Amino acid sequence: MAIGKQVREFRLRLRMTVAELARMSGLSSGMLSKIENGQTAPSLATLHALSAALNVPVTALFRHFEERHDAAHVKAGEGLPIERRGSRSGHVYQLLGHSIGHQQRVEPFLITLTESSEVFPLFEHEGIEFIYMLEGQIDYHHAGKTYRLVPGDSLFFDSAAAHGPENLIELPIKFLSVIVHPQE
């Protein structure tokens, strides 16, 4: 079915009818219809003829074959509690999902800061990070600069530079942090 769907997608992109593609590939319209509807599995020779008629490599017809499309659904308040540096000082991290089998690792966190602390941990790690403020106010440090963040503000940065909360202005503070790590 995945191959048939891909053939149809390429055919429609080229604004070709079933009859036109069938003629160009040397197949009958009936056979091409069966392939597109997943009612028959094409031979390698048939795949080669279709790819030549569509002007795409044979491998393009397998692009979505057995491709995984995972999703992580986390109900409100049910994020996985994670212990990280800073958790001990009134910082609560809840992991909201993660990527599987991709070129990069993505970690979305809901971070809640409920207590003032004299020392805030600074983080440095590979990748990039995106912060979106939901509640409260905070001064956030990144690479020698300080940013005042209020609800609706965002901050997107290279996370290899030292970063982290500098001053908690209005508690409680809640923000979404999405960290994208390069895959090792």
Query: Which amino acid does the sequence have at 123?
Result: F
CATH level 3 topology of 2-62: 434 Repressor (Amino-terminal Domain) (1.10.260)
pLDDT in tens, 82-140: 666 555 566 677 777 666 555 677 888 888 888 766 567 788 888 888 999 999 999 99
Q: Which residues, listed in sequence order, are joined to residue 114 by a DSSP beta bridge?
A: none
Q: Can you give the residue ranges of every domain in the chain?
A: 2-62, 80-182
Indicate the SS3 state at residue 11.
Answer: helix
Give the per-residue pLDDT at 83: 67
Per-residue pLDDT band at 34 (split at 50, 70, 90) = very high
CATH architecture label of 80-182? Sandwich (2.60)
pLDDT in tens, 47-71: 889 989 998 888 888 776 655 556 6
H or E segment and range at residue 71: none
